[in-house]
Structure 1
Amino acid sequence: MAAKDLFSTGVQRARRFYLESGSTRADLRVVCGGWERCSSDYEVRRDGFPMFGIEYVAGGEGDLTLGGRPYRLSPGTVFSYGPGVAQVIGSDRRRVLDKYFVDFSGRAGERLIADAGLDGGQVRQVAAPERISVIFEDLIVNGLRQTAYSGAICAAILRHLLLALCECAVPFGTLATPGFATYARCRRHLEEHALTVRSLAVAAAQCGVSEAYFCRLFQRFDRQSPYQALTRLRMREAVRRFETPGSRVATVAAAVGYDDPFHFSRVFKRVYGVSPQQFRRVRARSAPVDALD
């Protein structure tokens, strides 16, 4: 299929790429992608699409009918389509759509779309919109390079995009609910106080909710328990502190909230696959000479 058959008309500006055909048996193959600023009369009507497509609204507003169901598009909305999924996409006349898109094929993409809750033509919202925009921009930059490696690089970036959507996409309409607002407040509190919070019960109380509700919020909106979120925040800070030459395991453990350095070491290895001592040795070998003086 030629690029002209895939790219929409009725746009004011666009940055788009089309990759030459690779192996049709590839586990994941990016066909095209880009960014579009729609015109006020932008409208796309399709009975289906020959491959998988994902579109992400970065700005403006519009209307979408997907599989016969209507949705109002706004920044942070992400939706998918594919074979047999009818779609009508239109832009608001005053606040025209800015949107990213990527079209692809392959069984790996199909699996990851399903993991993100976007299979069969679904609409979701993104809790971390800037993160998704950055990934799309990286995809466009590499797609436009048109080198011998562009296809493989874009496929890797698409995997990154789909995994990020697995992590931060939530059901459509969620972002406006009181429950999500409470979760966002609890998540922010955990991020700001990860090194000093002594228990989940204390963190929940500081946020003004019960521990049971605190846990349900994270399971619903974060796809992980608050304990897992807290552990990852602490381990991330531990890695940062290990960047300092001469840092000691016991000192770092205490600084990130672990009284027992042996327990800290077990958790660190479970998260990163290596012990703190192994991590420090690797970092020391790769550090600049003047950083070790």
Structure 2
Amino acid sequence: MVTSKAKTESKPSFVSTQVTDARRYFLDLTPDEEKPITIVCGGRERVSKDYVVRRTTFPYLCVEFVAEGHGSVELNHKKYPLRPGAVFAYMPNIAHCIRTSSTDPMLKYYIDFTGSEGAKLLRESSLRGDRAIYVSNPEEFVGLFEMFLKEGMSGETHGQDLCAALLPVLFLKLSQRAMPGNVRQPRAYFTYLEARDFIEKEFRKYDTIEEVAEELLTNPASLCRLFRRFGETTPYRLLIRLKIQEAASMLVDQQMMVKEIAAELGFADQFHFSRVFKRVYGLSPEKFSRQSQWST
């Protein structure tokens, strides 16, 4: 179990010990209520199979996100199922009970915060301060909460300010990705996740979306519809972006020739590769390589 350097030596009493693994940060356990947003603490917890937390109140505003596993949360006597993609919130004087499934324990993130602007963000969101919602694209939220964790645990001077700046981003993302009502993730969403994961892992092997679709036992039109429905890019753009990112690494780290990289990543020729690279990065591969050398 890892924690960042806290302002107090002992762990706060509200932090659960019913975990098998945790990474936590404590930024300000005595926050100034006059500040618009203060991040008190946060972290990531893999809970034990007997995890149950019952509280009649809580000293701060809190948002929690379930990344893995299942469970339930009761907020002001209303019960919500918890699963990957569930987000819930509570505030002072909101009674709550969080319980995990004993057969599928949760991995969840949390952020505790205070301040008038923080309270406004929470109240004006679909969480309201005493509700649970479900979001599409849960992996985006994992990335965002991991960013909170990284900055919160950094121990650097701007950790508090960076985490406070991320809070409005979190609520904007919730507004963008919240699913209406208690809607379960459609089966098609998991098909989308599988397709995206496949492209991210196997992009080197495929040159066209037709090839990817064939490997996934679907067709290009269906694949594009999935990405249009659940993602923010097309499967082709994702494939190309991953190839060009890999190309940039080859240029800088391996100092490979443009012709070699084009052949390695399946481009028709080095000229086509150079055009695509410039479209993504705004520089030709040669200029990109030179600028990278200057910066090191």
> Which category describes the TM-score, using the shorter chain as reference length?
0.5 to 0.7
Q: Kindly tell me: are residues 179 and 197 of structure 1, through their superposed partners in 2, closer, same or farther at Cα, counting changes over 3 Å?
A: same
For 1:290, the equivalent position in structure 2 comes to: none
- For residue 72 of structure 1, what is the amino acid of its counterpart? P
Shift in alpha-carbon separation, 1:193–1:277, aligned structure 2, 3 A: same
Contact 1:68 1:86 in 2 (8 A): no
Residues of 2 paired with 1:112 and 1:278: CA distance? Answer: 46
Residue 250 (structure 2) aligned to one of 218, 241, 249: 241
Structure 2: gaps spanning 5 or more residues: 1-7
Q: 1:44 aligns with which of 55, 60, 75?
A: 55
Whether 1:232 aligns to 2:236 is no
Unaligned runs of 5+ in 1: 288-293
**Greater shift in the superposed pair: 126-135 or 234-243:** 126-135
* Structure 2 counterpart of 1:138, one-letter code: K
Q: CA deviation at 1:224?
A: 1.8
Instruction: Choose from 165, 189, 194 the match for 1:185.
Output: 194
Give the alignment partner of residue 31 of structure 1, picking from 25, 32, 40.
Answer: 40
Deviations 1:149-208 (A, max 9, x none): 33124346x469849977x9785632xx53234223322432344234332233212211
RMSD (CA atoms): 4.7
Distance change (3 Å), C-alpha of 1:234 and 1:254: same
| Residue pairs, 1:143-222, within 5 angstroms | 145=155, 148-155=157-164, 158=166, 162=170, 171=179, 173-174=184-185, 177-222=186-231
Residue 223 of structure 1 aligns with an amino acid whose one-letter code is: E
- Give the whole-Å Cα distance in 1 for the aligned partners of 2:120 and 2:278: 32
Q: Report the TM-score, using the length of structure 2 for normalisation.
A: 0.66
CA contact (8 A) 1:30 1:104 kept: yes
Give 1:182's aligned amino acid. T
- Measured in 2, the distance between the counterparts of 1:155 and 1:34 equals 14
Amino acid at match of 2:287: Q
What CA distance in whole angstroms lies between the structure 2 residues aligned with 1:215 and 1:85?
A: 47
CA distance in 2, matches of 1:274, 1:112: 42
Alignment counterpart, residue 271 of structure 1, candidates 259, 280, 286: 280
Per the normalisation by structure 1, the TM-score is 0.66
Match of 1:124 among 112, 117, 135: 135
State the number of aligned residues.
Answer: 270
8 Å CA contact 1:79–1:118 kept in 2: the answer is no
The residue identity in structure 1 corresponding to 2:230 is F
**Corresponding position: 1:252 with 2:245:** no
Q: Give the equivalent residue in structure 1 for 2:14.
A: 8
| 1:81 alignment partner AA | A
Residue deviations 1:33-56, cap 9 Å, x none? 24565875521356x9975x3213
- Give 1:284 deviation, angstroms: 2.0
Q: Which of residues 90, 93, 97 in structure 1 aligns to 2:98?
A: 90
Identity of aligned residues (%): 26
* CA–CA separation in structure 2 for the residues paired with 1:273 and 1:94: 51
Q: Is the 8 A contact 1:59 1:98 kept in 2?
A: yes
**Deviation (angstroms), 1:225:** 1.2
Question: 1:25–1:141: structure 2 CA closer, same or farther, 3 Å change rule?
Answer: closer
Alpha carbons 2:86, 2:134 under 8 Å: kept: yes
- Residues 41 and 93 in structure 1, CA contact (< 8 A), matched pair in contact too: no
Q: Report the alpha carbon displacement of residue 210 of structure 1 after superposing the two structures with TM.
A: 2.2
Is the 8 Å Cα contact of residues 40 and 91 (structure 1) preserved in structure 2?
yes
